[in-house]
Amino acid sequence: MISNETMSASDGANCGDCPEGREQKACCAPAAARDAVPVSPPESPCAGNLEAAFTADSLRPMVSLPGGTFLMGTDYPYGFPQDGEGPIRPVSLSPFQIDACPVTNQDFAAFVAATHFRTEAEKFGWSFVFWSHIPKDRSLEAVEGTVAAAPWWCKVPGANWQSPEGPSSSVRDRPEHPVVHVSWNDAHAYAAWSSKSLPTEAQWEYAARGGLEQKLYPWGDELTPGGKHRCNIWQGVFPSYDTAEDGFAGSCPVDSFPPNGSGLYSVTGNVWEWCADWFHASFHVGKVLSDPAGPASGQARVMKGGSFLCHASYCNRYRVAARTSNTPDSSASNIGFRCVRNLRPE
């Protein structure tokens, strides 16, 4: 049943001010505020039941990037300066490799099959699902509460990476979609298993820019060049009606749109991607930035790239310089990740 319970989205989870309204809006991905004792979820079919051949992470394509100095951040007037998008600053990076695509359900299934890892959404027994993606015939019993500042985010018991919309849903028919409902802690565990790391924010943004300098998107400054969609975001009226003009309402296969100039797919839109750094809005200001890794501690981790829920009328964080954050144990149906392999000498 939908109860009167509401959950507060933490400041770290908030989308921040929208360009027009300048009011706090928690649209990006809500914080879980998981202060309750984790409960054991019911036994669920293991990822090993996925019939598709599991792709070992070592076989996943990676892009080698030479590093060097690039201009990070933006002074875009319709951005979110309070997020710390600016100032534009030179940042130097050592060479590294980055996954060409976000980690998919198929990839994560291989990790789970090998390690029997249980995500935090599984341990706590629930995750956040966007309201219109919950099957209509199940919405009354499936939703346990909503986020006060963003009532389109629903607490759904049984929602996890294997069951993205709750117990009756499955990833069986979406092996190439990015895995979702993974917390930062879950993503970090996958990265460690695969002998990789989560990207620093600087690595992510450098890779996302695809060799272009100071462009809004991975492909340039025009959102739909030639009238063609280049990423999976929201069209229509948020949060009530998504026309899915780009072909997708919800997540999509990671290779649905062309790659950027460096060969990275699904960079902006589709799902947010966790970065290694703790989030701080001004930590980077005035510092010498060589292989920056963010503050030593914090409350929330950086997320980049925006998701299928982003719309210019509400949150245009599908830009490469945009940033938001969430607490490390939070999960939702629009947060995933990709990994990097550092090549600099330790």
65 or 180, CB closer to Ca ion? 180
d(CA 185, CA 283): 22
Binding mask 194-233 for Ca ion (x = CB under 5 A): --------------------------------------x-
d(CA 173, CA 178): 12
Using CB under 5 A, which residues numbered 287 to 326 contact Ca ion? Answer: 308
Whether 217 and 208 have beta carbons less than 8 Å apart is answered as no
Cis-peptide into 90, omega within 30 deg = no
210 or 306, CB closer to Ca ion? 306
Q: How many CB atoms lie within 10 A of CB 138?
A: 15
184 or 308, CB closer to Ca ion? 308
| Least distance CB 244 / Ca ion (angstroms) | 5
Binding mask 73-102 for Ca ion (x = CB under 5 A): ------------------------------
The count of residues interacting with Ca ion (CB under 5 A) is 4
Whether 66 and 96 have beta carbons less than 8 Å apart is answered as no
Among residues 218, 188, 200, 217, the alpha carbon closest in space to that of 92 is found at: 200
Whether 339 and 179 have beta carbons less than 8 Å apart is answered as no
Among 99, 120, 186, 246, binds Ca ion (CB under 5 A): 246
d(CA 142, CA 331): 17
164 or 292, CB closer to Ca ion? 164
70 or 238, CB closer to Ca ion? 238
Whether 291 and 93 have beta carbons less than 8 Å apart is answered as yes
| Least distance CB 278 / Ca ion (angstroms) | 30
Please name the amino acid found at residue 293.
A
Among 126, 248, 272, 274, binds Ca ion (CB under 5 A): 248
Using CB under 5 A, which residues numbered 10 to 39 contact Ca ion? Answer: none
d(CA 203, CA 197): 11
| Least distance CB 249 / Ca ion (angstroms) | 6
Footprint of Ca ion (CB under 5 A)? 232, 246, 248, 308
